[in-house]
Structure 1
Amino acid sequence: MSITARRPRMSGALIGVFVVSWLGLLADGYDLYVYGATIPGILGGHGFDVTTADVGLVGSIALVGMLCGSLVVGILTDRLGRRRIFISFLTLFSLMMLACAIAPNWTSFAAFRFVACFGVGGLLPTAVAVAHEFAPAGRKSIVVGIVLTGPAAGTVIASLTALGLLETHGFRPVYAIAGLALLIVPACWRLLPESPSYLRSRGRVEEAERVAGRFGVPVEENAPVMAATIASSTRALFHGGRTRTTIVLWMVCLLSLLTIFGVSTWLPQIMREAGYGVGSSVSFLLAYSVGAIIGTIIAALLGQRFGPKPMVMTGFVAAAVALGLMATNPSGIAIAVLSAVAGFGGLGTQNMINDYVAQYYPAGSRATGLGWALAVGRIGAIVGPTYGAFIIGLGGGVSVAAISFAVPALFGAALMFAVGQIKSDSGAGVVEPAPTRSAAI
């Protein structure tokens, strides 16, 4: 039961929330995926004296930072609120990217990269939770889907920046440009409100109702008016019959992020070893990113009508098929198209998984649910770059690498089949499938 405030029609204040969330995720995506775009430069004489194995190891170590950020964010948002966490993590990773640009050696670069990814890992679940809470009822999937094009847009900018600067100026300016995200911080202070559900949980009921009234956010009557604890917010993920779905979603995220980070980290280098120049090889990452943006928007529109589950399964299958076709060594244009489809099946699919998770858990545990799902998923992200380095080391070129990343995508589609369909975009719950041998955990 809820007291629903009068909902404005996407007022300027409400749009401002989504814009700063999108800009924060754009910076998040740039900082996260710029590493893959700059690997050809780092290995090509403009960077440090490192090997392919060194690059893969640092890619994985940095993603350990993302795992830590995803785990910590659920705890910190319960204590400090989503607004302060969003702004703090955005500031942190932007400063660390500037530090990467001036790193004197590979060890320093790796350390700065680790801390930057810690901030990146914490921002995404916070931004998704904010967007979902403030999105108008009946349009949550669309709004969250549009906000989640931010990381893919950041990847596009990272790819274009690398194309323009990598061959002539090396990797350092590409990282320095990430510091421009600090310009977003003042806008966040002004436009981003605190979560009404957080305010109510801290006993600040009047403030919660004031924010809810301004932005048209429903305030739950039975929301707990108490200080949230780490244990209670985490336990909520396993109460009310959620245990099975929670575990399955963790495994789905793991397989999704293994595929994403394996492909996005090594796609430019794989294409370079296939005979393409540095610029052409990075352009395939650009096609991957554009496919993710277009695919996310289409999936969000369809997800609003059919729910996010079918879109997640479709995306996984699309990625597997596209990667499988890349193994046939098609022409450059065909590889670009397949890279775009793989982008939809990679980043686009993960965005729909995030939407599913945000709708599945109630407001009080939404950030925690997203944080834990992404934290477990980061295990796959950590494995992805090292897995890619291992596959490349075996030889076999594009064919072997493509097939190696198509397999986890197929497993992800099969696992997603085991979870229920979201009833609505209000976070009311799911319709669980009847238990079967294939769906059992």
Structure 2
Amino acid sequence: MNSNAPRKSLAVIFVLCWLGLLADGYDLYVYGATLPGLIGHPPFNVTPAAAGAVGSIALVGMLLGSLIVGTLTDRLGRRRIFVSALALFSLAMLACAAAPSWELFAVFRFVACFGVGGLLPTAVALTNEFAPPGRKSLVLGAVLTGPAVGTVVASLSSLALLEGSGFRPVYAIGAAGLLIVPFAWFLLPESPSFLRTQLRTAEADRLEAAYGLTGSTESPAPSAVRSTRISPTRALFAEGTARTTVLLWAITVLSLLTIFGVSTWLPQIMRTAGFGVGSSVSFLLAYSVGAVVGTVLASIASQKFGPRPLVIVGFVSAAAALLLMSTNPPAALMTVLAAVAGFGGLGTQNMINDFIAQYYPAATRATGLGWALAVGRLGAIAGPTYGALLVSFGGGVPVAAMAFAAPALIGAVLMLALRTRTARRLAVAADAELVA
């Protein structure tokens, strides 16, 4: 069986995960792109405080999605959860487009973010498992450009439609994720590692042979199988991993606070600084493009240096760019700095996801990433409200930029403090299991 050539293409898995994450990124970040057309404009005429509250409440949905769905993924399987989450948030985006009142819009936004929160851990777990062992960071980095590309598409859609047609068609485009659902259902395979935790070994063997993965995927030891079947979360604090788990949670909180604070309020802050709706949204576009390019370059570098130093570089880059933005430079330089901040924001979070995916074993990978993102959503929830306070009190670009640079600097310090000794020990143990 080991000598059989793969009969199925791995590219199909990676493309479907990328497309799912593109839809994920569009639906998540479109809120910030459409705020200039929602605040003070019909039909809702919302205030900055109300907009910040809905942004934060919706991210509570993401927290619950990451926590609940991420854990269910290690119990029910990757494929089923991937398809369900994608369908859920796509339908909720369609409901947002048709919402007759601000209150119902907020409810549908909450549901959409619940689905969005559940997709990322599943897509990352699938990609990491099927990626070739020597190119995991590169493949995962490429797939993780999906959310940033989705943000670019959301920004372009807002630029094209917001002023002339309002927010509704921009949200309706987010329902395009439904087109991916049938392809994902019929073409995505189940995770061999998940099948092994369910004692479906023969099925896992057939999948590995079909995709040329025999001998390359992680085969959990019997103790890991028993632990996963009882409580996937217990392994996150087992065998000396508790300190690293808690540090990763804190780092993710700081990263997501910076990302969601900046991406939600960057267009509106720029508008209050005197830029038009189109020009203010273009800064979010620059932020998104920086995230895409930064993620690709960081994933290439991560193959050689590992994701940890890239996370540190990303945090420092975001802080430096935001601090320079606080000096009110010319518009052209402001655009460049927004792009650097995008690399240090979304690009850094992608490297954090890469680190987490490589740190935890396959049997608890989705749970580990789901819990880190769920706890991190506390920062995401705080970000829009934090930004709303800055806007409401007239802080402007200088105050907002410095305020969001602070958590990025703290994140860099915590990543420097993160020990990798435990990760290396676990990697050696996993290799020993594979040899056995």
Fold agreement, TM-score > 0.5: yes
Following superposition, the deviation at residue 420 of structure 1 comes to 2.8
Out of 93, 100, 105, which is 2:96 matched to? 100
Residue pairs, 1:199-210, within 5 angstroms: 199-210=195-206
Cα gap change, 1:325/1:285 in structure 2, threshold over 3 Å: closer, same or farther?
Answer: same
1:214 aligns with 2:210: yes
Equivalent residues of 1:66, 1:118 under 8 A apart: yes
| 3-state SS in 1 of match to 2:28 | helix
1:315 aligns with 2:298: no
How many residue pairs get aligned? The number is 426
Equivalent residues of 1:13, 1:191 under 8 A apart: no
Moved more, 333-342 or 419-428: 419-428
Equivalent residues of 1:137, 1:425 under 8 A apart: no
Residue pairs, 1:298-337, within 5 angstroms: 298-337=297-336
1:230-286 CA-to-partner distances (Å, cap 9, x unmatched) read 753111111121111000000000000000000000000000001000000000000
Residue pairs, 1:400-411, within 5 angstroms: 400-411=399-410
* Mapped partners of 2:362, 2:318: distance in 1: 31
Residue pairs, 1:39-438, within 5 angstroms: 39-217=35-213, 218-224=216-222, 229=228, 232-421=231-420, 428=427
Out of 16, 19, 23, which is 1:20 matched to? 16
Cα gap change, 1:263/1:103 in structure 2, threshold over 3 Å: closer, same or farther?
Answer: same
Moved more, 229-238 or 80-89: 229-238
| 3-state SS in 2 of match to 1:428 | helix
Equivalent residues of 1:41, 1:47 under 8 A apart: no
| One-letter amino acid of the structure 2 residue matched with residue 223 of structure 1 | A
| 3-state SS in 2 of match to 1:138 | helix
Cα gap change, 1:427/1:107 in structure 2, threshold over 3 Å: closer, same or farther?
Answer: farther
Equivalent residues of 1:309, 1:422 under 8 A apart: no
| One-letter amino acid of the structure 1 residue matched with residue 13 of structure 2 | V
| 3-state SS in 1 of match to 2:251 | helix
Equivalent residues of 2:59, 2:377 under 8 A apart: yes
Moved more, 226-235 or 208-217: 226-235
* Mapped partners of 1:221, 1:192: distance in 2: 20
* Mapped partners of 1:119, 1:7: distance in 2: 38
Equivalent residues of 1:158, 1:174 under 8 A apart: yes
Equivalent residues of 1:257, 1:378 under 8 A apart: yes
The structure in which a higher percent of residues are helix is 2
| One-letter amino acid of the structure 1 residue matched with residue 415 of structure 2 | M
Cα gap change, 1:367/1:394 in structure 2, threshold over 3 Å: closer, same or farther?
Answer: same
Q: Determine the structure 2 residue equivalent to 1:434.
A: none
Q: Determine the structure 2 residue equivalent to 1:435.
A: none
| 3-state SS in 1 of match to 2:417 | coil
* Mapped partners of 2:245, 2:267: distance in 1: 34
1:340-394 CA-to-partner distances (Å, cap 9, x unmatched) read 0000000000000000000000000000000000001000000000000111222
Equivalent residues of 1:360, 1:429 under 8 A apart: no
Following superposition, the deviation at residue 49 of structure 1 comes to 2.3
Equivalent residues of 1:37, 1:159 under 8 A apart: yes
CA RMSD, 1 decimal: 2.0
| One-letter amino acid of the structure 2 residue matched with residue 23 of structure 1 | L
| One-letter amino acid of the structure 1 residue matched with residue 152 of structure 2 | V
* Mapped partners of 2:118, 2:395: distance in 1: 37
Equivalent residues of 2:220, 2:363 under 8 A apart: no
* Mapped partners of 2:72, 2:392: distance in 1: 40
* Mapped partners of 1:374, 1:318: distance in 2: 22
* Mapped partners of 2:259, 2:428: distance in 1: 28
Moved more, 39-48 or 330-339: 39-48
Following superposition, the deviation at residue 187 of structure 1 comes to 1.1
Cα gap change, 1:395/1:311 in structure 2, threshold over 3 Å: closer, same or farther?
Answer: same
Equivalent residues of 2:49, 2:388 under 8 A apart: yes
* Mapped partners of 1:348, 1:429: distance in 2: 28
* Mapped partners of 2:4, 2:18: distance in 1: 22
Following superposition, the deviation at residue 73 of structure 1 comes to 1.7
| One-letter amino acid of the structure 2 residue matched with residue 305 of structure 1 | K
Equivalent residues of 2:196, 2:219 under 8 A apart: no
| 3-state SS in 2 of match to 1:132 | helix
Cα gap change, 1:131/1:424 in structure 2, threshold over 3 Å: closer, same or farther?
Answer: farther
Equivalent residues of 2:291, 2:347 under 8 A apart: yes
* Mapped partners of 2:3, 2:313: distance in 1: 36
Gaps of 5+ in 1: 431-441
Cα gap change, 1:5/1:162 in structure 2, threshold over 3 Å: closer, same or farther?
Answer: farther
| 3-state SS in 1 of match to 2:99 | coil
TM-score by length of 2: 0.94
Equivalent residues of 1:75, 1:230 under 8 A apart: no
Following superposition, the deviation at residue 6 of structure 1 comes to 5.5
Following superposition, the deviation at residue 78 of structure 1 comes to 2.4
Equivalent residues of 1:200, 1:208 under 8 A apart: yes
Equivalent residues of 1:141, 1:425 under 8 A apart: no
| One-letter amino acid of the structure 1 residue matched with residue 221 of structure 2 | A
Cα gap change, 1:367/1:221 in structure 2, threshold over 3 Å: closer, same or farther?
Answer: closer
| 3-state SS in 2 of match to 1:330 | coil
* Mapped partners of 2:58, 2:330: distance in 1: 34
Following superposition, the deviation at residue 46 of structure 1 comes to 4.0
Identical columns (%): 65
* Mapped partners of 2:4, 2:10: distance in 1: 10
| 3-state SS in 2 of match to 1:139 | helix
Cα gap change, 1:422/1:159 in structure 2, threshold over 3 Å: closer, same or farther?
Answer: farther
Equivalent residues of 1:359, 1:427 under 8 A apart: no
